[in-house]
Amino acid sequence: MQYANPVIPGFYPDPSICRVGDDYYLVTSSFEYFPGVPIFHSRDLVNWQQIGHCLTSKRQLPLANAWSSGGIFAPTIRYHDGWFYMTTTNVSSIGNFYVKTTQPSGPWSDPIPVAQNGIDPSLLFDDDGRVFFQSTRTGDQGDGIYQCEIDIETGSMMSESRLIWEGTGGAHPEAPHVYKMKGYYYLMIAEGGTEYGHMVTIARSTDPYGPYEACPNNPILSNRSMKSSIHATGHADLVQIQDGSWWSVCLGIRPVSYPMRHHLGREVLLAPVGWTDDGWPVIGNGGRIEPVMDAPLLPEVRWPDWPVRDDFNHTQLGLDWTFLRNPEPESWSLEERPGYLTLRGNQASLDDAGSPAFVGRRLCHFSCHVAAAMEFEPMNEGVEAGLTVYMNEKHHYDLAVRSIEGRKMVVFRRTVGSLRVEEIRDCPLGPVVLNIEAQPDKFEFSLRTYQSGTIEMGWGETHLLSTEVAGGFTGVFIAMYAVSETKQATPALFDWFDYKPLD
Ligand code: 6LW
């Protein structure tokens, strides 16, 4: 049997994986989005189902100061003695910490800070009970991967931080993971930066503090300058499956258009791991990940697809819904009008690095149909509600209803850096359905009402919302939002939201 990469499409970067018996768990970074660190479950490494988030409270995940692509950087998940540990970095708050639980779907503990700074923390539970903590940092011994020993009960450092490897000379040695196997400590990292020069390198030692001998075949993974639809492969983690074979998850991108630009973010890829006779791993086909590869020898376990329509008939939002930073409690409600998601604008707008009334989901497909039914009759100037295709506060396309000089109008707005263009039309009274047709190279916007039929509003290029243009580490979201420049925020009532993949 074969499978297609990515195994988890959309903005799910920096994957880390662990295995407990026949169950596999995977976490990814989440930056300024809340809840943080989504956690997935699989039985076959190919079909994944989100089961929760590791960081679900403001106490675990304060994002008030998180700039776009700030907040939560790369996580690591490990299992030891009945406990799951997830360590990560909040670059906009307490730095490195970990949370723990016995139930991976949550709840997870309060943060346990670790004093060793840097990013991309990881954990190794050694056979003798010692727990080693790694991160990539600039320390007094230079740039590279540092390690200390910690007390896993308290997070306290029990040794100094020591530089254990600088990598092979690529930029940004990062994403460290240490594995103890075959009589060695293997230290695997990413180098080259998370863009088109990304690669995975590895070294090994008989001592956890080295000296580490670099693999003669480095890099063991890179899609650099390959004639492939997948690029920027790197930031990998390894897992051994039931038949003893090894597999890797890592991040990659799928650029479209020319010059290459990607707007879905960095996605989760799966690849087999081979071993040379002298005990060095190689990821994928000779160090390269393909769009289609042979699947692991595990019984296929598929999970129910997300329904196309969310009709908001529940008391909680589904796991695929996400806020932009910590939401203001009064900015959203599923109770105020049962069967509707009610959004109330606050003074934060989509153009600020703040927390507007925003409930969104990742764009995970190049082609999909999105629609939302909205009841919103703005009485005052300065209030607005609708849908946004959002990369960050300077790169988003909005289809919204607002009052202009006392008239209800529909606005299609494209914000790209310092450029802003608006198309404005009269909007009939009553409920509207806002439509977005996503295609690999453009988003098309329209709306329809009972009286007016479909009103085409325009389109915007996907590449102008790409990482190569917008910068950062995230990916495009499609979100319902409301803003209000005044305290009298007219509520926007969303009856349902459709997301129908077409590719
Ligand atoms: C991640 C690090 C990286 O922590 O980017 O470029 C950071 N590489 O490994 C955010 O994904």
82, with CB counted inside 10 A (0-12, 13-18, 19+), is exposed
Would you say 331 and 346 are in contact if contact means Cβ atoms under 8 Å apart? yes
Residue range 127-146: average pLDDT? Answer: 96
pLDDT score at 379: 87
315, with CB counted inside 10 A (0-12, 13-18, 19+), is exposed
Categorise residue 169: left if φ over 0, alpha if ψ from -120 to 50, beta otherwise: left
Residue range 104-124: average pLDDT? Answer: 98
Cβ of 119 closer than 6 Å to ligand 1, yes or no, is yes
Indicate whether 487 pLDDT > 80.
Answer: no
pLDDT score at 227: 87
Q: Whose C-alpha lies nearest to ligand 1, atom 5?
A: 194
Q: Whose C-alpha lies nearest to ligand 1, atom 1?
A: 74
Report percent pLDDT > 90 for the chain: 95
Indicate whether 465 pLDDT > 90.
Answer: yes
Tokens of 285: 């086909």
pLDDT band at 451 (very low <50, low <70, confident <90, very high): confident
Helix (H, G, I), strand (E, B) or coil at 329: helix
Q: How many CB atoms lie within 10 A of CB 359?
A: 23
pLDDT score at 410: 97
Categorise residue 255: left if φ over 0, alpha if ψ from -120 to 50, beta otherwise: beta
CATH number listed for the domain at residues 2-294: 2.115.10.20
Cβ of 267 closer than 6 Å to ligand 1, yes or no, is no
Domain residue spans of the chain: 2-294, 309-501
Which residues on adjacent β-strands are paired with residue 382? none
Condensed to tens digits (0 to 9), the pLDDT of residues 325-335 reads 999 999 999 99
How far is 12 from 6, CA to CA, in rounded Å?
10
How far is 341 from 347, CA to CA, in rounded Å?
19
- Please give the distance, rounded to the nearest whole angstrom, from the Cα atom of residue 481 to the centre of ligand 1: 28
Strands (E), 377-491: 383-392, 395-404, 407-416, 419-426, 432-438, 442-449, 453-461, 477-484
Index of the ligand 1 atom closest to the CA of residue 174 = 9
pLDDT score at 226: 86
Annotated active-site residue in 32, 174, 191, 384? 174
Residue range 462-481: average pLDDT? Answer: 98
pLDDT score at 489: 81
- Please give the distance, rounded to the nearest whole angstrom, from the Cα atom of residue 34 to the centre of ligand 1: 18
The correct CATH number of 309-501 out of 3.40.190.10, 2.40.30.20, 3.90.320.10, 2.60.120.200 is 2.60.120.200
- Identify which of 478, 497, 493 has the alpha carbon closest to the alpha carbon of residue 335: 493
Amino acid at 366: F
DSSP 63-99: -TTPPTT-SB---EEEEETTEEEEEEEETTTTEEEEE
Cβ of 73 closer than 6 Å to ligand 1, yes or no, is yes
Cβ of 174 closer than 6 Å to ligand 1, yes or no, is yes
pLDDT score at 77: 99
pLDDT score at 240: 98
Condensed to tens digits (0 to 9), the pLDDT of residues 198-237 reads 999 999 999 999 999 999 999 999 999 888 999 999 999 9
Would residue 14 show up in a list of annotated catalytic residues for this protein? yes
pTM as predicted: 0.97
Would residue 174 show up in a list of annotated catalytic residues for this protein? yes
- Please give the distance, rounded to the nearest whole angstrom, from the Cα atom of residue 409 to the centre of ligand 1: 42
Cβ of 74 closer than 6 Å to ligand 1, yes or no, is yes
Cβ of 193 closer than 6 Å to ligand 1, yes or no, is yes
Tokens of 447: 């709306």
Average of per-residue pLDDT values in the chain: 97
Report percent pLDDT > 70 for the chain: 100
Annotated active-site residue in 14, 191, 237, 267? 14
Condensed to tens digits (0 to 9), the pLDDT of residues 373-417 reads 999 999 888 999 999 999 999 999 999 999 999 999 999 999 999
pLDDT score at 237: 98
Q: Whose C-alpha lies nearest to ligand 1, atom 6?
A: 194
Categorise residue 474: left if φ over 0, alpha if ψ from -120 to 50, beta otherwise: beta
Name which of 18-22, 53-57, 83-87, 425-429 the model is least confident about. 425-429
- Identify which of 369, 397, 333 has the alpha carbon closest to the alpha carbon of residue 498: 369
pLDDT score at 431: 97
Cβ of 194 closer than 6 Å to ligand 1, yes or no, is yes
Condensed to tens digits (0 to 9), the pLDDT of residues 178-204 reads 999 999 999 999 999 999 999 999 999
Index of the ligand 1 atom closest to the CA of residue 73 = 4
Would you say 264 and 389 are in contact if contact means Cβ atoms under 8 Å apart? no
Pocket mutation for ligand 1, best pick of 16, 27, 28, 29 (most atoms within 8 Å of C-beta): 29
Indicate whether 295 pLDDT > 80.
Answer: yes
pLDDT band at 53 (very low <50, low <70, confident <90, very high): very high
Indicate whether 356 pLDDT > 80.
Answer: yes
Index of the ligand 1 atom closest to the CA of residue 198 = 6
Q: Whose C-alpha lies nearest to ligand 1, atom 10?
A: 73
Index of the ligand 1 atom closest to the CA of residue 266 = 11
